[in-house]
Chain A
């Protein structure tokens, strides 16, 4: 069974993000970039499926600038078999990403596509769902457990207030949630092996996809600084403050 995993290059989750002074976006100069944490979980799940003998080949795809090859190499060092880089310097919004992935799915014909539920840069939580619609595949989003059984995949989903388990016909789309697994790190021997694994490069034009942004970003702002808290003496004072100062009750 072939598994396709999509990975995205984003600002490292440890980096304190700074908004550009002109409010057009986030300042990416001199910051550490890394694989989106949800994508790491997606790669890990695919590798575990391969270790269980369920998956036979893991193809990892990333859309982005030349440097996104670093994240593909990381995925290869974690256990993926080959990489596809869709090279573009354009801003790629969720819909464009989904269309590009659809084109790759058409070519590769995977039985399972695993994506992160969202990327930590824009928090859209859309690409997996859009891809499912475009490809006409069933989807199991926010997965906290995945098990493949014959031509079906059982996905336990994290939903408000509990878990929901769905059974999907393959081929299917799965998006990962935080609790699905704990990703491994790349060991030194695997980093070395990754260098020899094939990495093919393509472009949106090659794939026949128009990636023109459909949305315009008006303004990006840092969240307001949180005010320091205060201690109240008793419930009466709290109620009073909520009523008269915060005016929320």
Chain B
């Protein structure tokens, strides 16, 4: 069996870095225990291994087909969906009143990482369902919860998020789908949506679309967008599915380079003017509702990207230990046996980069999940508030950094295998294609950079940034007290200072010269910011690993091997010695507010 995620790696992040046990002390989680958390993660591993990993390649080779009437796909997807639902994962983080398990987000993310590693395109269906259910839970009326949310959590209905239109992607304020009030309080929805994942299939009795649309007469732009529940099939009062349709028509499936097991649909709503939608929450607040949910969905995107990067790392590590080729530069004897390629420094370097990117990204996404737990369940008001501010600030990074560096790790993994990596005999080319989606959806990485530099940095008097600086500084202080890590601590401190100065500069350029110039190189800023945050989390991991190594010297063996802990420290060293200098240089460049790209003219291309 292929390892989906190394147990020590996940355990170290969840237990040692993020101290999941401490959550059990909170009233919200008193019914839980560390053993329960572990059992949940074990069950995820079992189901992911048995029912998801089995058809990852098969689903890629056999994408869903639409014959004009029905979508068909390989049967394994439905079996996997049913196991996921039956085991209770759809409702893992929902309240007990709704039949959920009220698990911490951190534990849920750890469990999800197994499914994402096994088969990202099949798990997209239940993932979207839980995400859509989360919106209805937060903003829906009691009646809407009974009619839609319960069957969703029970696995009977699936969910989608229908934002994008053929002409409207990043700029949702321009969307055109309309909603006309009907006499009975419902709305008639009309418009076209595109790229809607899971928008049609035969996995469930019904599909609940969450559709962004503009009510007739509502203001232009983002302030006039409302959110509607639009079921594929109409739902009668008894919450039973009736046979007629709700005028939601599948215009066609899109054929993609990756995530080929997930249907990507073009949907026409209300072609016959009888598509009924139910307003969620208040009119004109749709986008903010959607974004609250998207914040968690964005952690999911980052997590998927991180885990796929990690899968590639494991595959290439395995290969590098087996494959023999060439000799070390100092050996000129042609009679000597060739070495395993893992002996070559260049290969080790590619493996270390992958380890740094993927385990660093995984740490970041799990950290963000814990912030969600903190803002929802921490007993201290102040802690809840600071977690909320910090999460707001970090969300664009949690989405964009892993989704940039996860595919980068896959690229390196292919390079480690070289010719073999380019063939379909190994799973790397699929991982690479699948992972390539992540910088695109849930807001492109370019949009995330604008969100960070144009909005998130300055929200609430930049409290998020101050909180982050404090937390980074605390780790720096801890690391400084630990001799072997002092140099690494100084490296992080240096970049933190650079980043703070750059941010200060950014604020003044924004004010004095306007956003065009100030935000022209926003992606560089996001990259440096993300790199620093991940560097901080590597430093924190090294501090924990060093402490555990010291304990070993004193005779307490603990649950990690010495090699595992050494590996954490060496990866931290590598990150500090190779990545941080690059970030520092990038910040220096950003600070010049270089306008070369901005000044480029269309005709000059």
Contacts and interface: CB of A to CB of B under 8 A. Distances in A.
A192 B31 contact: yes
B39 A74 contact: yes
A73 B42 CA distance: 13
Interface in B482-500: none
Given A29-B557, A30-B561, A185 B36 contact: no
Interface in A178-192: 185-189, 191-192
A14 B36 CA distance: 22
Nearest to A187: B87
Contacts of B35: 70, 73, 195
A195 B43 contact: no
Contact of A192 (B89, B101, B561): B101
A70 B35 CA distance: 7
B169 interface: no
B204 interface: no
Contacts of A29: 557, 561
B101 A195 contact: no
Contact of A186 (B39, B92, B557): B39
Nearest to A32: B7
A243 B541 CA distance: 60
B36 A192 contact: yes
Contacts of B7: 32
Contact of A185 (B31, B46, B561): B46
Contacts of A194: 39
Contact of B43 (A14, A32, A70, A187): A187
> Which one of A30, A70, A189 has the highest number of Cβ atoms from chain B below 10 Å of its Cβ?
A30
B88 interface: yes
Interface string A179-215: 0000001111101101100000000000000000000
Nearest to A191: B39
Contact of B36 (A30, A32, A187, A195): A195
Contact of B92 (A32, A77, A188): A188
A74 B40 CA distance: 11
Main secondary structure of the interface of A (DSSP, over half): helix
A186 B135 CA distance: 28
Nearest to B559: A30
Interface residues of A, number: 17
Nearest to B101: A188
B31 A187 contact: no
Contacts of A188: 40, 43, 87-89, 91-92, 101, 103
Interface string B7-29: 11000000000000000000000
B47 interface: yes
Contacts of A191: 36, 39-40, 43
B1 interface: yes
A87 B499 CA distance: 56
A77 B36 CA distance: 10
Which of A185, A187, A188, A191: most chain B CB closer than 10 A? A188
B559 A185 contact: no
B101 A189 contact: yes
B144 interface: no
A194 B101 CA distance: 13
B8 A186 contact: no
Given A29-B561, A30-B560, A195-B36, A185 B47 contact: yes
B101 A185 contact: no
A70 B42 CA distance: 12
Contacts of A189: 88, 101
A238 to B, nearest CB: 29
A77 B33 CA distance: 14
Nearest to B49: A14
A63 B92 CA distance: 32
Contacts of B245: none
B4 to A, nearest CB: 11
Interface string B35-59: 1101110110011000000000000
Given A14-B1, A32-B7, A187 B561 contact: no
Interface in A70-87: 70, 73-74, 77
Interface string A53-81: 00000000000000000100110010000
Nearest to A34: B42
Contacts of B516: none
Contacts of B88: 187-189
B318 interface: no
A133 to B, nearest CB: 36
A171 B92 CA distance: 41
A192 B95 CA distance: 13
Contacts of B91: 188
B86 interface: yes
Contacts of A187: 43, 86-88
A73 B39 CA distance: 9
A188 B559 CA distance: 25
Contact of A30 (B8, B32, B33, B103): B8
A70 B38 CA distance: 10
Interface in B420-442: none
20 contacts: A29-B561, A30-B8, A30-B560, A30-B561, A70-B35, A74-B39, A77-B39, A185-B43, A185-B87, A186-B42, A186-B43, A187-B86, A188-B87, A188-B91, A188-B103, A191-B39, A192-B31, A194-B39, A195-B31, A195-B33
Chain A to chain B: the 5 pairs with minimum beta-carbon distance, closest first: A188-B88, A187-B87, A191-B39, A185-B46, A30-B561
Given A70-B38, A189-B88, A194-B39, 18 more contacts: A29-B557, A30-B560, A30-B564, A73-B39, A74-B39, A185-B43, A185-B47, A186-B43, A187-B43, A187-B86, A187-B87, A188-B92, A188-B101, A189-B101, A191-B40, A191-B43, A192-B31, A195-B36
